[in-house]
């Protein structure tokens, strides 16, 4: 039987996947009706850094804010429960 590490390597190699050394992770937590909704997505830090200058990084942050607001709307949060950016 293969170890978990061998299995992970096999899956990565089989699918030609590359795991970045560093990532930028965005986490969004929503609490509603006694439930926590946790949404995570990430980007390769090197790709973001290569594409970014101050203006592009500001746009990236703005996009993340919009994504969060879209989640709030999708989950039908009331205005008083939303984060004011």
Q: Distance between CA atoms of 11 and 38, rounded to whole angstroms?
A: 26
Q: What's residue 50's pLDDT?
A: 66
Q: How far is CA 41 from the centre of its chain?
A: 2
Q: Is residue 62 part of a domain?
A: yes
Tell me the H-state helices in the chain.
4-14, 45-51, 54-74
Q: Does 77 reside within a domain?
A: yes
Q: In this predicted structure, what is the pLDDT of residue 78?
A: 84
Quick: pLDDT tens for 17-73.
Answer: 777 777 777 787 777 788 887 887 777 777 666 666 777 777 878 888 888 898 888
Predicted pLDDT of residue 51: 63
- Flag whether 74 is in a domain: yes
pTM of the model: 0.53
Is residue 2 one of the residues assigned to a domain?
Answer: no
In a domain, 67, yes or no: yes
CA dist 45 and 3 (Å) reads: 29
* Number of domain units in the chain: 1
Is residue 77 scored above 70 in pLDDT?
Answer: yes
């Amino acid at each position: 039987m293969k170890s978990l590490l061998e299995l992970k390597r096999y899956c990565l190699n089989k699918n030609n996947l590359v795991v970045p050394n560093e990532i930028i992770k965005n986490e969004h937590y929503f609490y509603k009706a006694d439930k926590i909704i946790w949404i995570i997505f990430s980007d390769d830090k090197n790709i973001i850094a290569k594409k970014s200058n101050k203006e592009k990084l500001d746009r990236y942050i703005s996009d993340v804010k919009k994504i969060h607001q879209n989640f709030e709307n999708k989950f039908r949060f009331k205005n008083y429960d939303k984060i004011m950016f």
